[in-house]
């Protein structure tokens, strides 16, 4: 069996004009993950990332802790959906950036509704692929991981949407479950698949072994 590790990017800049930028905390999350793998002798035979800035910055943080270069192939299929476009497709009226707990709750209520509408083909957010095309890109990437070969170790650095899609495809989840998986994935969390020549098998989901200590638990974030 081979192993595939899917990592969500570190904490980005939720609520800022440019979300696609890791915070200092996000960089530290990723550095600690790289150090965790270095200490355990983890090796990688192939590395794939999305093309977003936060994906590249997250891999750079992992490399800083790992202490060795991890040459990666960047794939647009691993990029996140546009959450603002998803929300605007069901709520075209202007929305202020969330600044308090109630604003954050409203944002995620609308995001849930928008994601379900996109998945069901009820909306088509401007500038985004159909959900069918989005899911097909993730499926193609999973097939590419299989092609690396049995016994190999593969790393993917991406976002919550593609990772939740991968888990949903492996488990055969309905749309509602995909949305909840997506919104539960923590920053720098690791989801692990085992794979044989034909398919992937879920081993673990949304783990933070590199932050599981009293001095690092304050680094756990979701957005």
For residue 47, the domain's CATH number is 3.40.50.1240
Average pLDDT, the chain: 94
For residue 110, tell me if it sits in a domain.
no
HSE, CB side, 13 Å, CA atoms: give it for residue 157.
Answer: 28
Residue 209 included in any domain = yes
- Residues 4, 148: Cα–Cα separation, whole Å: 10
- Domains held by the chain: number: 1
Residue 101 has pLDDT above 80, yes or no: no
Is 122 within the bounds of a domain?
A: no
Predicted confidence (pLDDT) per residue in 34-75, tens digit? 999 999 999 999 999 999 999 999 999 999 999 999 999 999
User: Which pLDDT score is estimated for 16?
Assistant: 62
Whether 104 is covered by a domain: the verdict is no
**Residue 153 placed within a domain:** yes
- Kindly state whether residue 143 falls inside one of the protein's structural domains: yes
C-alpha Rg value of the chain to the nearest Å: 17
CB 155 within 8 A of CB 70: yes
29-68 exposure pattern, b = at least 16 Cβ within 10 A, e = fewer: bbbbbbbbbeeeeeebebbbbbebebbbbbbbbbbebbee
C-alpha distances (whole Å) from 66 to each of 22, 47, 56, 58, 217 are: 18, 14, 15, 12, 20
In a domain, 114, yes or no: no
CA distance 205 to 201: 11
Whole-model pTM: value is 0.94
Domain that holds residue 176: 2-81+128-217
How much is the pLDDT for 211?
98
pLDDT digit string, tens, across residues 69-79: 999 999 999 99
Asked if residue 115 lies in contact with residue 86, where contact means CB atoms within 8 angstroms, the answer is yes
Does some domain include residue 120? no
């Amino acid at each position: 069996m081979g192993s595939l590790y899917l990592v969500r990017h570190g904490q980005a800049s939720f609520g800022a004009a440019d979300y696609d930028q890791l915070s200092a905390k996000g960089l530290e999350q990723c550095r600690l993950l790289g150090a965790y793998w270095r200490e355990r002798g983890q090796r990688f035979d192939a590395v794939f990332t999305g093309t977003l800035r936060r994906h590249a910055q997250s891999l750079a943080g992992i490399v800083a802790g790992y202490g060795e270069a991890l040459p990666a192939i960047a794939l647009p299929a691993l990029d996140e959906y546009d959450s603002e476009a998803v929300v605007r497709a069901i709520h075209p009226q202007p929305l202020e950036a969330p600044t308090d707990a109630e604003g954050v709750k409203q944002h995620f209520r609308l995001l849930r509704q928008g994601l379900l509408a996109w998945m069901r083909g009820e909306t088509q957010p401007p500038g985004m692929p159909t959900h069918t095309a989005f899911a097909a890109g993730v499926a193609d990437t999973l097939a590419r991981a299989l092609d690396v070969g049995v016994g190999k170790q593969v790393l993917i650095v991406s976002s919550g949407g593609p990772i939740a899609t991968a888990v949903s495809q492996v488990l055969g989840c309905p749309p509602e479950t995909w949305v909840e998986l997506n919104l539960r994935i923590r920053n720098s969390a690791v989801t692990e698949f085992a794979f044989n020549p034909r398919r992937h098998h879920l081993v673990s989901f949304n783990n933070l072994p590199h932050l599981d200590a009293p001095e690092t638990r304050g680094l756990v974030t979701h957005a």
